[in-house]
Structure 1
Amino acid sequence: MVSRTFGWFLLAVPVLLAVAGPLIAGPAVSVGVPWQPPDAAHPLGTDVLGRDALTVILTGGLPMIGMTGAALGLAYLVGVPLGLFAAGRGRWADEAVMRSLDLVLAFPSLLVLMVLAATGHRGPGVLVPAVAALQLTAITRVVRAAALAPGCRTAVEALTLQGRPWWRIQLGYVARYVTGPVATDAGTRLGVVLYLLASANFLGLGLPADSPDWAVVIERNSEALYTAPAVVLVPAALLMALCVGTNLVTDRLLAARWVSL
């Protein structure tokens, strides 16, 4: 019970701050000198641009969480149907889908993001689809492997012998069967997507340098880790809580699902 509550707590804190923070805090504008120590007016001090660190942190969660959720959602929206198609339409479909997606593995993720930036393709509108595309191969492989598992294939063969069309079998039965592996993968993949987006922002490929986004704030204030640690450690802790909380909650929900079956 304690572990379940702790997981929800870890997940709720960064999400609630990201959603409610902009409503609570005012605009993130310069209010003093850079890296000013904490005082009564600025409990966490100021950042590299002289902005109140607490205000920056309260307003910076939504861009990062929003881009992470959008990239994950887009990747699974495409990857799950592709995996089901590859598993359900025979060897030719399997080979065509998987060999095509294997081409993506030849390109290092950060190199792809840097090439996009070097050609002038920057910002969330480019970054989110690019990160989603980089995750597509792994997601499709997870779905395909789950759909080809012996327990699933036995039921699929029985349904096929009953005359059910392949698409109905894949959507009606196999899609439900792969829900557990997909949810487990999503909890882990959240950290991968978060890392890619944060790395892109660290390298200046994503959001503008004056964005209050947590990843940008960590990168811009990393030099002040020892003199103004709060402005670096607080957003870093929130990102860590988001990843750990998501995995704990996912594990608990899946465990409860299997117990109820």
Structure 2
Amino acid sequence: MIRAAARYAPGAVLVAVPLLLAVLGPLLAGPAGPRAVSFSAGPDHWLGTDFTGRDAWRQVLLGGRSVVLVALGATLLAYLVALPVGLAAALTRRTWLEEALMRPLDVLIAVPSLLLVLLVAAAFAPGPAGLTALVGLAAVPEAARVVHAAAAEVASRPAVEALRMQGESWWRTAVGYVARSLRRTLAADAGIRLTGALYLVATAAFLGVGVQPDTSDWAVMVDRNRTGLFLQPWAVVVPALLVAALSTGVNLLFDTALQRGGHRKGARR
């Protein structure tokens, strides 16, 4: 048991630090003090100050919630749309319906996600909720293709044909059997999807999409403070490391869980 927990420890630590800062940071930030200029860490400013003289540590405490919540919400939204679309395309016996569901997604995949977000944002200027929707929908085509490819293999099994012959409902066949068989595939893809969402959210915020130029946001901190990187590096390095730690930690956790699941499956055989 202890050995199993130790395998999860590196990923758990990497995920826990940015998540705790994102959730508890605004509660610990306290009131904003007077603005000052400090190029080095000290008792008054643990990480120095940012480009406007605000305490960089306080900005780190305030800046995680937007990045983390938008990325998590976008990943969840992507699967809420991609899962039923991919399952419907894989389980239908009508070729025209499968083509109608999947071919438009192929067209969207040809458009870079960031370009798609920027084009829509230029027209509608989304806030955090709009940015969540944009990033989530931009991830739908690739996620739906993964679901469709994996579900098509499961749908060809004799068990699915037997369920159809017994008159089982589409819901029980698709969700009760096919979707449950995709758990390992979806778990592996979820880490990639969340990493992509973090990258897209951070890049969009870096470019000023969905956030105000002076908002407390890790990606905005990297953007606005990068010109003073050699004078005051902590206001850039710390938020960048937090985003990287969350992305790396999530993938480590999923990889560890998948490896353990594979070992258990092999042991049963």
* TM-score (norm: length of structure 1): 0.93
Change (3 A) 1:82 1:150: closer
Change (3 A) 1:30 1:208: farther
Letter in 2 for 1:45: G
C-alpha separation between the residues in 2 aligned to 1:98 and 1:135? 14
Unaligned runs of 5+ in 1: none
Q: Count residues with an aligned counterpart.
A: 260
1:54 aligns with 2:61: no
For each residue in 1:195-246, what CA deviation from the matched residue of structure 2 results, as whole angstroms up to 9, or x when unmatched? 1111111111121111111011111111121111111111111111101110
Name the residue aligned to 1:166.
170
For each residue in 1:140-191, what CA deviation from the matched residue of structure 2 results, as whole angstroms up to 9, or x when unmatched? 1111111112686332123223332333211110010111111111101111
Name the residue aligned to 2:117.
113
Name the residue aligned to 1:85.
88
Change (3 A) 1:180 1:10: same
Cα pair 1:147 1:153 within 8 Å, conserved: no
Percent identity over the alignment is 45
C-alpha separation between the residues in 1 aligned to 2:34 and 2:121? 28
C-alpha separation between the residues in 1 aligned to 2:136 and 2:48? 36
Name the residue aligned to 1:26.
30
- Displacement after TM superposition at 1:89 (Å): 1.2
**Which of 56, 63, 66 matches 1:63?**
66
Cα pair 2:67 2:218 within 8 Å, conserved: yes
| 3-state SS of 1:149 partner | helix
Q: Relative to structure 2, which stretch is displaced further, 117-126 or 170-179?
A: 117-126
Cα pair 2:83 2:144 within 8 Å, conserved: yes
Q: Relative to structure 2, which stretch is displaced further, 105-114 or 203-212?
A: 105-114
Cα pair 1:83 1:143 within 8 Å, conserved: yes
Cα pair 2:90 2:155 within 8 Å, conserved: no
Alpha-carbon RMSD: 1.8
C-alpha separation between the residues in 2 aligned to 1:183 and 1:79? 14
**Which of 205, 209, 213 matches 1:205?**
209
**Which of 209, 213, 225 matches 1:221?**
225
- Displacement after TM superposition at 1:127 (Å): 1.5
| 3-state SS of 2:46 partner | coil
Letter in 2 for 1:104: L
Name the residue aligned to 1:74.
77
C-alpha separation between the residues in 2 aligned to 1:138 and 1:101? 8
Cα pair 1:152 1:177 within 8 Å, conserved: no
- Displacement after TM superposition at 1:119 (Å): 2.2
Cα pair 1:10 1:242 within 8 Å, conserved: yes
**Which of 45, 50, 71 matches 1:42?**
45
1:195 aligns with 2:212: no
C-alpha separation between the residues in 1 aligned to 2:32 and 2:199? 25
Name the residue aligned to 1:248.
252
Unaligned runs of 5+ in 2: none
| 3-state SS of 1:60 partner | helix
Name the residue aligned to 2:100.
96
